[in-house]
Amino acid sequence: MKFAIDAELPNTLGRTGTITTPHGEIQTPAFVPVATKATIKSLTPEQVRDAGAQVVLANTYHLYLEPGDEQVKNLGGLGNMMNWKGPTMTDSGGFQVFSLGAAYGKKGITKISHRELLLPKIVEEETPKIVTIDPNGVMFRSHTDGSAHYFTPEKSIDIQHNLGADIIFAFDECTSPYEPLHYQKQALERTHRWAKQSLEYHKSKNTSQALFGIVQGGRDENLRKESAKIIGDMDFDGFGIGGSFEKEDMQHAVQWCNSILPKHKPRHLLGIGEPVDLFGAVENGCDLFDCVSPTRIARTGMVYTKDGRINLLNQEFREDSKPLDDCTCYTCKNYSRAYIAHLFRAKEMLAATLASIHNLHFIISMVDTMRERIKNKNFENFKKDFLKRYYKS
Amino acid sequence: MKFAIDAELPNTLGRTGTITTPHGEIQTPAFVPVATKATIKSLTPEQVRDAGAQVVLANTYHLYLEPGDEQVKNLGGLGNMMNWKGPTMTDSGGFQVFSLGAAYGKKGITKISHRELLLPKIVEEETPKIVTIDPNGVMFRSHTDGSAHYFTPEKSIDIQHNLGADIIFAFDECTSPYEPLHYQKQALERTHRWAKQSLEYHKSKNTSQALFGIVQGGRDENLRKESAKIIGDMDFDGFGIGGSFEKEDMQHAVQWCNSILPKHKPRHLLGIGEPVDLFGAVENGCDLFDCVSPTRIARTGMVYTKDGRINLLNQEFREDSKPLDDCTCYTCKNYSRAYIAHLFRAKEMLAATLASIHNLHFIISMVDTMRERIKNKNFENFKKDFLKRYYKS
């Protein structure tokens, strides 16, 4: 894997670049759609490509359980199996430590809906955790059949080697922002040790896959900077910035990390997809971002427009013959809001497909435009106009 | 609408032809996929077209209830609303008289799975019928909200004029093969009267839509022939052959009807999709057939192969890296059985999409090959080889 910086955004950490992988180039900054179980839900790879995607990210934990990483390898690896002809990525499984462990059963905690991350709402429920962390690794119970599985850094790398994505991640522990500082320190020590193990084990194998190390540290400035220094000094091909953030913390954490991480390697902000967060992440020097949000909200009838999100199930759209937005995607060129609203009411699968195409296109082309505007030196105007209109503020 | 016979199958009623509609030509015999609620479930119109479809059929009853026929009209009519650029058809709503009335709650009766139509299985359940038939029309209760609606022949035609399909059907009553003869006679008298009313009302309006009359008569030879004579003498643009059949009755009924119906007008066998039935229907002079079966069974993991149907959820396909079949469709060119089986187990929507593309392509190209073989005068060999391999008999 190679990375070259093409242009920079003055007085910020922002830049544009080109990542070259065995399966093609990625122009950055780039939004990465999530193919959790080796499919972007409700879409063919051609529809994902036509929506503008350059690269997709699949989940190691899910593919390990089903259909199994050996099985994916036998079917030619992730990209070949799912008929995605461009670059691919897999996460490390570490995020599941968080979502199935610390955050399991806590409805208020989510990496996706930062707006809902309001501390007083969170209630400790009696849900048993299905993850146990020890110094050497993590014991998962499968969320489907309850079977026990033990992940170590080496196991995560082995699985990701079988999955065969172009870019893979070191095994880490993602913590909740509500864990106390002493826990954050413990978890970070593990993450750093696991990063070193992941890297050493990866280097001992003969593979052309690129390995990214993950910076953690929660909301604490010292821990974030310490983590960026330690992970940044390791010989990774690039970096991920992990963690579940409160909204106001995110850009600080990103800035702390990226001011320290080596400039000439790509940086991936994990699990972020809100427009305002993406603008901040780009300005603060992130090159890649993945998020399930555009396709997840699409399946509920929620679509992005330049004037903010709309819910197609609202009465007002039943007779609305306009397209979803002033937009060049397949959905907007060919279908009305009223027809798509009908499909949602009728519970037709095509509803999810059409809304997902639009939402992916919306977010991807927003990031593509940021890239163009950095090159053309008029990023600030685009950001100001876009956010003002989108958030009506 | 115009219809021209291009070639004939010697010593049978079979033929090939061309139907010309305002939205393009249909080469017959042709399989017509069903877009119940103005979408072929899980597919875009482009995917349906790429699977080989020339024309699609939507259900009047469903579109009347949701989104409403006036609404479809406001969105440019059925084809425009759903982005289908070729010819379209709508049924008359009469089949719902059967499926929601006489057959409602009787699990054994179905138009689709003729194999399951075994008389002893049928049990009169205490399910209230939600359809009431009187001499002038039919009172439906909506299957979604229970609201009452009254369909007359004129109402059905009005709705179908709003929906705007190229080919529409006269309002009829589809009977169960288990109704006694005296009921079949009563129902047939209504169907004939309603056909005349549908035709007269249609002709009083200024429309380029073609109207097909429907022949009924159950399993009784005299009634079928009487119906073919009476309906065939009316000035329809083509004909539908309706009814729910026991498997062994179907080809007799089709033959009785088509030996009497005027030769120079197209004939549509309603709701038929099993391979053996399609061969019989073509030999017996049918030009069009619609059926939900290819896409319905696809959504359950059942796919056609030249060696018969297979259920992708069977254990044996988990590691099967072959395509679904020796086939040129999008699915078979790009995906393995193992990957599609994984998608079904993971309950991913793409599973339904990929299986539906293949099943539609399978049935459509089978009918397309029949057409070629009639023209090339080697239909019999194709039929023999295909059925022997498919049914292993």
Question: What DSSP line would sit under A47-103, residue for residue?
Answer: HHHHTT-S-EEE-HHHHHHTT-HHHHHHTTHHHHHHT--S-EEE--SHHHHIIIIIT
Tokens in use for B48? 């349906």
Mean local confidence (pLDDT), A238-248: 86
A28-74 pLDDT tens trace? 999 999 999 999 999 999 999 999 999 999 999 999 999 999 999 99
Mean local confidence (pLDDT), B194-219: 96
Which residues from chain A sit within 8 angstroms of residue B75, using beta carbons? Answer: 321, 336, 338-339
Asked if the Cβ–Cβ distance from A37 to B346 is below 8 Å, we say yes
B326 is catalytic: no
Which residues from chain A sit within 8 angstroms of residue B82, using beta carbons? Answer: 339
B106 pLDDT higher than 70: no
Give A134: exposed, middle or buried? Use CB within 10 Å, 0-12, 13-18, 19+.
Answer: exposed
Distance from CA of B130 to the nearest CA of A (A): 20
A265 pLDDT higher than 70: yes
Phi-psi region of B284 (alpha: psi -120 to 50; beta: other; left: phi over 0): alpha
> Cα(B278)–Cα(A136) distance, rounded to whole angstroms?
63
Which residues from chain B sit within 8 angstroms of residue A62, using beta carbons? Answer: 346
Mean local confidence (pLDDT), B106-120: 39
> Cα(B42)–Cα(A44) distance, rounded to whole angstroms?
11
A320-379 pLDDT tens trace? 999 999 999 999 999 999 999 999 999 999 999 999 999 999 999 999 999 999 999 999
Asked if the Cβ–Cβ distance from A67 to B318 is below 8 Å, we say yes
> Cα(A259)–Cα(A14) distance, rounded to whole angstroms?
11
In what side-by-side order are the strands of the sheet with A131-134?
A: A131-134, A137-141, A148-151
Cβ proximity of A326 and A15 under 8 Å: no
Mean local confidence (pLDDT), A295-318: 98
A322–chain B Cβ distance below 8 A for any pair: no
What percentage of chain A carries pLDDT values higher than 90? 81
Which residues from chain A sit within 8 angstroms of residue B68, using beta carbons? Answer: none
Which residues from chain A sit within 8 angstroms of residue B346, using beta carbons? Answer: 37, 39, 62, 66
Highest mean pLDDT among A236-245, B30-39, B171-180: B30-39
State the pairing for strand pair A288-291/B56-58.
unpaired
Cβ proximity of B44 and A353 under 8 Å: yes
B348–chain A Cβ distance below 8 A for any pair: yes
CATH architecture of B2-288: Alpha-Beta Barrel (3.20)
A70-126 pLDDT tens trace? 999 999 999 999 999 999 999 998 777 666 655 555 544 444 333 333 333 333 444
Write down the pLDDT at residue B126: 47
Instruction: Show the CA angle centred on residue B290, arms to residues B305 and B184, nearest 5°.
Output: 120
State the pairing for strand pair A15-21/A2-8.
antiparallel
A349–chain B Cβ distance below 8 A for any pair: yes
Tell me which chain A residue has its CA closest to the CA of residue B67: A342
Which residues from chain A sit within 8 angstroms of residue B349, using beta carbons? Answer: 41-42, 349, 352-353
Asked if the Cβ–Cβ distance from B342 to A318 is below 8 Å, we say no
What percentage of chain B carries pLDDT values higher than 70? 92
Tell me which chain A residue has its CA closest to the CA of residue B334: A83
Q: Which of A67, A318, A353 sits opposite B338 (nearest CB)?
A: A67
B51 confidence band (pLDDT: 50, 70, 90): very high
Which residues from chain B sit within 8 angstroms of residue A343, using beta carbons? Answer: 37, 39
Cβ proximity of B272 and B30 under 8 Å: no
> Cα(A382)–Cα(A14) distance, rounded to whole angstroms?
14
What percentage of chain B carries pLDDT values higher than 90? 81
Asked if the Cβ–Cβ distance from A37 to B67 is below 8 Å, we say no
A356–chain B Cβ distance below 8 A for any pair: no
Write down the pLDDT at residue B102: 54
CA B267, distance to chain mean position in Å, is 12
B125 pLDDT higher than 70: no
Chain B interface test: which of A42, A71, A349 (most B C-beta within 10 Å): A349
Read off the amino acid at residue A4: A
Asked if the Cβ–Cβ distance from B37 to A66 is below 8 Å, we say no
Write down the pLDDT at residue A104: 55
A50–chain B Cβ distance below 8 A for any pair: no
> Cα(B334)–Cα(B131) distance, rounded to whole angstroms?
46
Write down the pLDDT at residue A301: 98
Cβ proximity of B15 and B325 under 8 Å: no
A234 pLDDT higher than 70: yes
Write down the pLDDT at residue A107: 44
> Cα(A31)–Cα(A278) distance, rounded to whole angstroms?
9
A158 is catalytic: no
B7 pLDDT higher than 50: yes
Cβ proximity of A324 and A303 under 8 Å: yes
Alpha helices in B40-114 (DSSP H): 45-50, 60-65, 69-74, 77-82, 94-97
DSSP B273-341: --HHHHHHHHHTT--EEEESHHHHHHTTTEEEETTEEEETTSGGGTT--S-SSS--SHHHHH--HHHHH
Write down the pLDDT at residue B129: 63
Cβ proximity of A325 and A294 under 8 Å: no
What is the distance between the terminal CA atoms of chain B, rounded to a whole angstrom? 41
Distance from CA of B290 to the nearest CA of A (A): 20
Asked if the Cβ–Cβ distance from B37 to A346 is below 8 Å, we say yes
Write down the pLDDT at residue A187: 92
Asked if the Cβ–Cβ distance from A71 to B318 is below 8 Å, we say yes
CA B374, distance to chain mean position in Å, is 22
Read off the amino acid at residue B100: L
Mean local confidence (pLDDT), A122-138: 68
> Cα(B176)–Cα(B183) distance, rounded to whole angstroms?
10
Sequence-separated contacts (24+) of B298-302 with Cβ below 8 Å: B298/B42, B298/B352, B298/B355, B298/B356, B298/B358, B298/B359, B298/B360, B299/B41, B299/B42, B299/B352, B299/B355, B299/B356, B301/B341, B301/B344, B301/B351, B301/B355, B302/B355
Mean local confidence (pLDDT), B138-152: 85
Distance from CA of B196 to the nearest CA of A (A): 34
ipTM above 0.85, yes or no: yes
| From B93-97, B292-296, B343-347, the region with the lowest mean pLDDT | B93-97
Write down the pLDDT at residue A131: 80
Asked if the Cβ–Cβ distance from B338 to A71 is below 8 Å, we say yes
SS3 content of chain A, % helix, strand, coil (to 5): 45, 20, 40
Distance from CA of B305 to the nearest CA of A (A): 21
Tell me the domain boundaries of chain A: 29-291, 312-393
Whether pTM > 0.90 for this model: the answer is: yes
Q: Find all residues with CB under 8 Å of A244, minimum gap 6, and list them.
A: A98, A103, A109, A110, A111, A117, A174, A175, A176, A177
Strand, helix or coil at B127? coil
Q: Which of A214, A223, A221 is nearest to A182 (CA)?
A: A223
B123 confidence band (pLDDT: 50, 70, 90): very low
Q: Catalytic pick from B91, B220, B237, B249? A: B91
Distance from CA of B154 to the nearest CA of A (A): 26
Write down the pLDDT at residue B108: 42
Distance from CA of A292 to the nearest CA of B (A): 15
Strand, helix or coil at B76? coil
| From A205-219, A378-392, B100-114, B304-318, the region with the lowest mean pLDDT | B100-114
Q: Find all residues with CB under 8 Å of A384, minimum gap 6, and list them.
A: none
B104 confidence band (pLDDT: 50, 70, 90): low
pLDDT averaged over every residue in chain B: 91
Asked if the Cβ–Cβ distance from B321 to A75 is below 8 Å, we say yes
Cβ proximity of A16 and A77 under 8 Å: no
Distance from CA of B336 to the nearest CA of A (A): 7
Strand, helix or coil at A380? helix
| From A304-313, A347-356, B109-118, B148-157, the region with the lowest mean pLDDT | B109-118
Question: How many A/B residue pairs have CB atoms within 8 Å?
Answer: 96
Asked if the Cβ–Cβ distance from B83 to A334 is below 8 Å, we say yes
A286-296 pLDDT tens trace? 999 999 999 99
B178 confidence band (pLDDT: 50, 70, 90): confident
Beta bridge partners of B167: B89, B210
Q: Catalytic pick from A69, A91, A249, A325? A: A91
CATH architecture of A29-291: Alpha-Beta Barrel (3.20)
